[in-house]
Amino acid sequence: MTSTPSSTAPDATFHEWTPAWSPDRTDPALPPITLITDPHDHPAYTTTAITAHHPELGRITVHPTPLATAPAYLAHDLIRALGKHLPPPDIDPPWWTGNADESWRVAAAWTKALNISHYVICRAHRITGRHLEHLMALRELTRIRLTLVVSGPTPAALATILKAAAHHQINTLENARRHLNQGPSLAPASYSWWHSAPFPAPHDEPWYELPPRPRRPTGTPGDITTSSHRTPTRLPSTDSRPPTIALPPHPQPDTHSSHHETVARRIHTRIAHPVHAAAVAIRALTGYSTDQLPQLTIATPQHPRGDLPTDLPDWARLLQDAARIHTGLKAHIRQDLPAHLSGANKPFRLGSWDRNDVAHATEACHLVAARVRRARQRT
C-alpha cells in the first residue's frame, strides 16, 4: 500500500510506493479476488481467459512468463500485456528493468492512467509467493478486480493470501466464461494506440524528423549542452535508408494528423516507461532535446508562462498523466506544497541515464533530430 505522511507540515517525509503487502493491511472494501480453479489443467480455461483480453474495455489478460522467478518479471509481463515492449535483446536494457520496485511502479502508473479495472492472471499456481505479494500490493493501490486462473493444486503461498483477502471461487467452465465475459464497468476507451505499431521497427519503416529544437526553455539561463552519456543516433546507411518525413506542427486536440497518430502508436508500443514515453511525445510535438526536458515547466497560476503547450492532443495528454502518476509514486511531488514549490510543474526529472534511455527510445520510434540527419548526410 502507499505510504502516507504523518502530517502535512512542510518538513513531512514522503515515501516512494513500493510493491509491499502484508495480510494485516488488506482493505476489506476492495472487490473480492476471483479464483477460477482448474485442477485438471483443461485448455479451455486458458483459452477463455485469453479471449477475455480487451484493453479498450479495461480488462487485461496476463500469461506469465514460464519459470520466471525474478521479482521484476511479473511486472514486465503486465506491461507487455498492456501492449508495450521492453527493448529487444540486442539493446542494452534500461536501468529500471532490473529493478523490481521501479518495474512495479511502471506497471502501476500505466494501470491507473489507462483505466485498467480488471486483471486476469493465467497459470496463477506457477506464480512465486513474492510475485503474488507484489500483485496484491498493486491491487491495493489501483483497486482493480483480480481474477486468478489456477490450473493445478493451489500453492501454499496463494492459500495464505486467500486467508487474508476476501475472495470467491469458480470451479466450472460455464461459470468461468460467464465471469470473464461480464461487461466492463467503464465505457470503451477510444485510444487509437491500442492498435499497435510493429515491434521491433521494420528495416524499411520511414523516419520522422523532429521539429526544430527551441533555443532553450523559458527562464533557463545559458545554453543547453548535449549529454555526454548519449550515444549517436543509429540511422541506417544512406543507401538503405527510407525517406525522412518532416513532422508537421503538433495538431490541436480536435484535429487529426495521420503522421502524429503513427508516432503515437510507435510510442505506445515501443516505450514501456511512462516518463520516457511522455518525454518522447513532447520531443515529437515540440522539438525539445533530451537535455532541455528536465528544465521544462508546466504553466501554473503562480507561473503562467510554462514551456509545455497547454493544448496537447489526447494521446499526449494521457502519456503526461501516466508520467505524472509515476512521479507521484516516486514521491517526487510534495502534496502539501503549491506546484511551483513542490516540483509538480517540472514533469521530467531525468538523470543522465534516463536521458540516455529517452534518446534510445526516440530512435526506437524512428524519430530523428534535423541536426543529426544533416550530420549523417555530410558523412
CB half-sphere exposure, 176, CA atoms < 13 A:
26
Residue 140 is predicted with a pLDDT of 96
Residue 332 is predicted with a pLDDT of 64
Closest CA to 212 of 371, 3, 1: 371
C-alpha cell at position 279: 518525454
Under DSSP, the state recorded for 331 is: T
Rounded to 10 degrees, the C-alpha dihedral 273/328/96/113 comes to -30
Give the burial string for 74-101 (b: 16+ CB within 10 Å, else e): bbbbbbebbbbbbbeeeeeebebbeebb
What is the reported pTM? 0.86
Sheet of 367-368, strand order: 244-246, 207-209, 367-368
Query: What is the amino acid identity at position 228?
Result: S
Residue 91 is predicted with a pLDDT of 72
**Residues in Cβ contact with 152 at an 8 Å cutoff, skipping those fewer than 6 apart:** 38, 39, 41, 125, 126
The mean pLDDT value of the chain amounts to: 82
pLDDT band at 374 (very low <50, low <70, confident <90, very high): low
Residue 228 is predicted with a pLDDT of 36
pLDDT exceeds 90 at position 6: no
C-alpha cell at position 335: 502534496
Closest CA to 270 of 357, 204, 368: 357
Closest CA to 1 of 15, 11, 176: 15
User: Is the CB of residue 283 less than 8 Å from the CB of residue 364?
Assistant: no
pLDDT exceeds 70 at position 253: no
Task: Tell me the mean pLDDT in the region 232-261.
Answer: 67
Alpha-helical runs (H) found in the chain: 43-51, 73-81, 100-113, 129-142, 156-164, 173-180, 258-270, 274-286, 314-329, 339-342, 352-364, 370-378
Residue 192 is predicted with a pLDDT of 53
> Tens digit of pLDDT for each residue in 99-128?
999 999 999 999 999 999 999 999 999 999
**Which of 40-44, 83-87, 108-112, 296-300 is least confident?**
296-300
Closest CA to 212 of 285, 299, 311: 285
CA distance 349 to 63: 33
320 compared with 243, residue with greater pLDDT: 320
pLDDT exceeds 80 at position 277: yes
> Tens digit of pLDDT for each residue in 53-81?
998 889 999 999 988 889 899 999 999 99
> Tens digit of pLDDT for each residue in 216-235?
665 444 333 334 344 444 55
